[in-house]
Every structure is written in C-alpha cells, then in structure tokens.
Amino acid sequence: MKTQTFTILFASLLLLASCSNQIEYETIEKNEDFRASITQGSFVELNSGHTYYNYIPGNGTPLVLVPSFSVPCYQWDHTIEMALEKGIPVLSLDLYGRGNSSNPDTTYSVELFADQVIQLLDHLEIKEKINIAGISMGGRVVSQIAANHPNRINKLILVSPGGFLNTSTIINSEGNNIVSDEEIKEFIATDFPTRAEGQLEDFYKKDGLDWWIDLYRPLLFHKHFARALISTRKNERSIMRENVMVGLYDFPVEFIWGAKDVVFPVEECCKNALNWIPRSEFHILDSCGHMPHIEKTEEFDRILFDNILK
C-alpha cells in the first residue's frame, strides 16, 4: 500500500512559504472538498466527526491497528501490507484530530478515541472477536477498549504503549483541561517549526528517515491540529484501572517493545505491566527505539505474524 502523495495545494503552500520566509500553518480545512481529494481509503461520519479508515477483508480474525499520539495510520502501512500478503483482514484508521479524520472542537480523551474505534467496528459490522494492536498512545486506547469490551477481544497487542509509567497525568477536575486560543497560538509558534523533525526522536537510529519527516509535515497545515494535540495532552489520565481490569480477563496480552525506547522506557514500564497484567508476554527488540514496527520491520513481522497471530 503506497502512502498518498502530497497534493498540489500543499506544494503551493510550501512554495509561498519559502518565498516569504514565514510559514503559515493550519490553513487547510478538513471539509467535503478535502475529503473528496483523498483518493485512497474511505470515510464514515461517526458521532464526533468524519473518520478516515482503510479496511481490507480477508480470512480469519480481523487485525485492527490503532496509531499513536500524533502520527496517522500511515505508520502502519508496512504491517498492513504484510497482513494483506497473508490474507488477514485488516483495519486501520486516523484518530480524531490526526491525518484525514475530522478535527472536531471537542475534548480529546482516551474515551473519545476508544468510542471512535468501537463505532467504526459497528459501522463495518465487524462482530467477531478482533486482534487489536495499539502503538504508543494507541496502547492507551486499546487498553481502554479491551477493559470495556472484553467480549470483542481475541488478542491484545501493545506496541511501545503508553499508560504504564508511574507519572501518568490525571484530568484536572477544575476545568483547566480546556484549550485556550492563547495556548494554541503559542503552541504553533514554538512547537510547529520543529515538530516534523522532532518525530525522529522516536527512533534509535535516525539516519535515512527524511521520508518520515516529509510524511508528517503536511499535518501542520490542517486547521485545529494544534488544538487536538494540546487537548489530548491536557486530558491524559491514568489508565491503571483499565489495565488492572485487562489483567482479570483471559485473552492473551502481548507486548512488543524497543529496548532503546526513550518515550516509554521499557525498564520503567515493565514492572507495572507485569503487576497489572501478570499473564502478559514480552517481546523486546534490541537496538530499537519507540517504533519497532518501522525500525525493525523483519523482526517485528516475525513476532507479530509468526508468533502472536499464528
């Protein structure tokens, strides 16, 4: 599956920006014209907005892939290709506020994203149990889904997941989780100029990854992207309760982690993971950072397809 090429509109924006030496971010509205310009994948309007997804039917248990904090579902492209080669039905999506999905004016929380996935499964009439994988923040989302909908889970796969550090943020009960215009303006001014390049911090070895930066950069031109990221951060909360609930169920739980992950270091997270979910299995990839499915694709594929999903 090839990732979508940049649009003429985006190329024009970069040209104008280079001429003026000042980039104007968040200029593209995700409206009907925007959705009509997307030539791959599908859209469905769910409770909180339009969701972009790719679903390829096949034989056996469906594999659902949930992306990370700010990167859309293109990060799963290689895994999707491997699933297709093996005839496995596979579903990926862009979470709200990311990629091609809507950027609604709402509270961005783990509940919002979990409900989005469940509503999409219902729309597609996927009623059988699923194998569901979430990476980074997507790990928080799939833990939430598994805790609240255990009857829908065949296997839970957590890839470099969030939610297992001791210093999880709790939602502020006084309402300070609301995002102000001033916060958005400051975030765009201070964060956006280096945000695309900063995505390389997820990798242990950073050489040869200019393509990863190029894939990410167009997101900075989607209106309300900053608000979605800020809201997500401000509405993070501990999901210890959900993970403890997962530990009480009997479906398999598999962790895949890079030994050199600096976002969620495995040595800091594994104690909680094993305490909360004692039956879980760990697969640690040496010389690998936060994105093992990209940085160590062959080893990751063997673990996922030849071991976990066999």
What CATH architecture is 28-308? 3-Layer(aba) Sandwich (3.40)
Q: Residue 110 has which token pair?
A: 């783990």
CB atoms within 10 A of CB 146: 25
Phi, psi dihedral angles at 212 (to 5 degrees): -70, -40
pLDDT of residue 21: 56
* E strands present in 11-169: 42-46, 49-56, 63-66, 90-93, 130-135, 153-159
Q: What is the pLDDT of residues 231-287, one digit of tens each?
A: 999 999 999 999 999 999 999 999 999 999 999 999 999 999 999 999 999 999 999
Give strand pairing partners of 274. none
- What is the distance between the alpha carbons of residues 96 and 76, in angstroms, rounded to a whole number? 17
User: Per-residue pLDDT for the chain (310 aa), expressed as one digit of tens each?
Assistant: 444 444 444 544 554 444 445 789 999 999 999 999 999 999 999 999 999 999 999 999 999 999 999 999 999 999 999 999 999 999 999 999 999 999 999 999 999 999 999 999 999 999 999 999 999 999 999 999 999 999 999 999 999 999 999 864 444 444 568 899 999 999 999 999 999 999 999 999 999 999 999 999 999 999 999 999 999 999 999 999 999 999 999 999 999 999 999 999 999 999 999 999 999 999 999 999 999 999 999 999 999 999 999 8
Q: How many Cα atoms are found within 13 Å in the side-chain-facing hemisphere of 242?
A: 21
Lateral strand order in the sheet of 42-46: 42-46, 49-56, 90-93, 63-66, 130-135, 153-159, 253-258, 281-285
H or E element, residue 13: helix 8-20
- Token pair of 81 as six digits: 């290709």
State the pLDDT at residue 2. 41
Q: Where are the domains of the chain?
A: 28-308
CA geometry: angle 107, 179, 230, nearest 5 deg = 75
Amino acid at 288: C
